Amino acid sequence: MSVIDAGIRPDGARDARETDATVGKPFLEKKVTLRARNVNVFYGEKQALFDVSIDIGKHEVTAFIGPSGCGKSTFLRCFNRMNDTIDSCRVRGEILLDDEDIHDPKMDVVPLRARVGMVFQKPNPFPKSIYENIAYGPRLHGLVSGKSELDALVEKSLSRAGLWNEVKERLDEPGTGLSGGQQQRLCIARAIAINPEVILMDEPCSALDPIATARVEELIDELRRKYTIVMVTHSMQQAARVSQRTAYFHLGRLIEVDKTDRIFTNPSHELTEAYITGRFG
């Protein structure tokens, strides 16, 4: 159990030989929402993730960074079992959501995904009206009874996503007609309409311009108070701006996890340092 060893390693240890062990602080003592233990993911014969173990803290933003193809998105998709939709993909290991194993055969993905929402890289509003986009989840799960209740929920979700004032006059217009940044906030509003515990964000700003990105980042920071957020990002600045903890992935391995300021100011692992100083990536 080299990972566990790595967990109790004293802070700041630099050890280039131990590339498959995680340095930093992967485990937390309290207020944990998600626990991943020894997660391995395979696409057919190819292994994409190797023995990843990490805790995700409650009501904080955890950012996954790393070069392309390092497995951070794959790992993110394990938390709501979106990898089930890929036929060749197999996930081994344990992921606990409030101490329930999400890969338990008795666990249904429907309630799991109601608890763990997701926002994608490219905004993907449904080809329906703005109103219908937000109402989709509540209707699906039977959370509202009656039009007025639904109206209130739509307004609340849009307000929370900071979109209400922009779209309240045109709720009947198609969601695809909004600008990119608005679309992404619509997708966030859609996800929070069913009040999940966790929101997974897969590079939520990579398709947006800087101004839209700033608005979404602000939103993420606000949402942290009510939701646990896990985000994958390509941008180290973004991770530095919005996250409290940062995990660095490299070639399918979790290299280092720690408080964000620590990762960016004083990384323990030389791969992390190489990445954040821009020597590759």
Partner 1 sequence: MGMVSGDCRRLHSLPRYYGYYVAMLTALPAILLLALWISLDQSLITHLVMASLPQSMQPLPPSEQSLLINDIRNLATGNITSGEISPALQAAADHYRHLMHLSRLLLPTALFLLAIGGIALGLKVIHPDRRARPAVERVIRWGLILSASIAILTTLGIVLSVLFEALRFFQKVPLADFLFGLEWSPQIAIREDQVGASGAFGVIPLFAGTLLIATIALSVAVPIGLLSAIYLAEFATPRVRTWVKPLLEILAGIPTVVYGFFAALVVAPLVRAAGESIGLEVSSESALAAGLVMGIMLIPFISSLSDDVINAVPGAMWDGSLAMGATHAETIFRVIVPAALPGIVGGVLLAASRAIGETMIVVMAAGVGANLTANPLESVTTITVQIVTLLVGDQEFDSPKTLAAFALGLVLFIATLLLNVLALYVVRRYREAYD
Partner 2 sequence: MTKRSDIRAAVERGLSRRRRRDRLVRRLGLGAILLGLGFLAFMFFSIIGMGYSAFWQTRIQLPVELDPAAIDPERTHDPAVLRNADYAGLIKQALRKRFPQIKKRKEKRKLYQLVSSGAAYALQAMVLQNPALIGSTPGLWLTANDDVDVWFKHPETSGKRLNDQQKAWLEELHAKGELKKFFNLDFFRNGDSREPEQAGILGALMGSFYTILVTLGLSLPLGIAAAVYLEEFAPKNRWTDFIEVNINNLAAVPSIVFGLLGLAVFINFFGLPRSAPLVGGLVLTLMTLPTIIIASRAALKSVPPSIREAALGVGASRMQTLFHHVLPLAMPGMLTGTIIGMAQALGETAPLLMIGMVAFIVDVPRGILDPATVLPVQIHLWADSPERAFLEKTAAAIMVLLAFLVLMNLAAIWLRRKFEKRW
Residues found near partner 2 in the complex (CB under 8 A): 108, 110-111, 114-115, 141-144, 149, 153, 156, 194-195, 197
The Cα–Cα gap between 73 and 48 comes to: 10
Site size with partner 1, rule: CB under 8 A: 27
Binding of residue 187 to partner 1 (CB under 8 A): yes
Q: How many CB atoms lie within 10 A of CB 64?
A: 26
| Six-digit token string for 253 | 């391995």
Compare residues 37 and 156 and give the one whose CB is closer to partner 1.
156
Q: Say which entry of partner 1, partner 2, none residue 122 contacts (CB below 5 to 8 A, set by partner kind).
A: partner 1
144 binds, among partner 2, partner 1, none (CB under 5 to 8 A by kind): partner 2
Asked if 118 touches partner 1 (CB under 8 A), the answer is yes
Residue from 154, 194, 230, 263 touching partner 1 (CB under 8 A): that is 194
Angstrom distance (rounded) from CA 123 to CA 209 = 13
CA gap 241, 266 in Å, rounded: 16
Q: Cα–Cα distance between 217 and 223 in angstroms, integer?
A: 10
Q: Beta strands of 26-123 (E only): which ranges?
A: 32-43, 46-57, 61-65, 89-97, 100-101, 116-119
- The stretch near partner 1 (CB under 8 A) out of 49-57, 78-86, 159-167, 213-221 is 78-86
Among 51, 99, 86, smallest CA distance to 197 is for 99
Binding mask 122-141 for partner 1 (x = CB under 8 A): x-xxxxx-------xx--xx
Q: In 3D, which of 134, 167, 161, 166 has the Cα closest to residue 215?
A: 161
Nearer CB in complex with partner 1: 129/268: 129
What is the SS3 assignment for 94-105? EEEECCEECCCC
Regarding 226 and contact with partner 1 (CB under 8 A), the answer is no
What residues line the site for partner 1 (CB under 8 A)?
Answer: 80, 82, 85, 87, 109-114, 117-118, 120, 122, 124-128, 136-137, 140-141, 187, 190-191, 194
